[in-house]
Amino acid sequence: MSGRADRTRAELIRATTRLVREVGYAQTTTRAIARAAGVAEGTMYRHFPDKASLFLAALLEQHGPVVEAVERLPARAGQGTVEDNLVGCLRELATLREAVLPLELAMLADPELAAQRRRPPYPGGPGPGPPVRIAEYLAAEQRLGRVRADADPQRATMILLAVLFGLAVGPPAAPGPVDPDLIRDAVRLLLTGLGTAPG
């Protein structure tokens, strides 16, 4: 129980997430985290074996809401329009991701950190998550005849998420939230296609 310990732990994670977003990974020192969390420097090591584990925990913390947001998608197959369903889901993903994108980038940029990602910090680890649910949704729509029969739902999902990630990070964007209009444009383009001829 010990509500105090739990609060400290949560504070540490909140501080870490905030600092990485605001000042970048390089500037997020243990001292800065401790100060931002309002605890002593040594306290961190009561809750996490080392700094990398704290980062990992911060990253996973966000995973819950993301999963939830996508969990509902497959059930919407056949309702409304495909475009609206996808746009809604991707916008939610973009919003949630905004908080952790800097953490993800830090991991991508630092192999040593990324190595930690291999071994999930607790047995079982995070569930299937967004990619699987979106693919499920696309397959369902495919069965309903609202998505081309010759498309590969998994491949399409991969590309869909790649667009999302690319737009979130992309060169034109000063770091900041993804333009929601851009998300709709992307989904529409992916649905409609760019070409005029059958091939």
Binding site for its own copies (CB under 8 A): 23-27, 81-83, 102, 105-106, 108-112, 114, 131, 138, 145-149, 151-152, 155-156, 158-159, 161-167, 169-172, 175, 182, 185-186, 189-199
For 120, left (φ over 0), alpha (ψ -120 to 50), or beta? beta
Q: Locate 160 and state its tokens.
A: 């869909």
Long-range contacts of 32-35 (CB under 8 A, 24+ apart): none
Beta carbon of residue 104, minimum distance to DNA (angstroms, whole number): 18
- With respect to its own copies, which residue has the nearer C-beta, 7 or 31? 31
Q: Give the C-alpha distances (Å, rounded to integers) separating 119 from 9, 169, 172, 192.
A: 21, 26, 34, 40
Site residues for DNA, window 85-114 (CB under 7 A)? none
x/- mask, DNA, residues 48-67, rule CB under 7 A, reads --xxx---------------
Residues 22, 23, 24, 27: which binds DNA (CB under 7 A)? Answer: 27
Q: What is the dihedral of CA 150, 155, 157, 163, to 10 degrees?
A: -110
Residue closer to its own copies by CB (options 68, 185) is 185
User: Residue holding tokens 């910090």?
Assistant: 121
Where does this chain bind DNA (CB under 7 A)? 2, 4-5, 7-8, 26-31, 39-47, 50-52
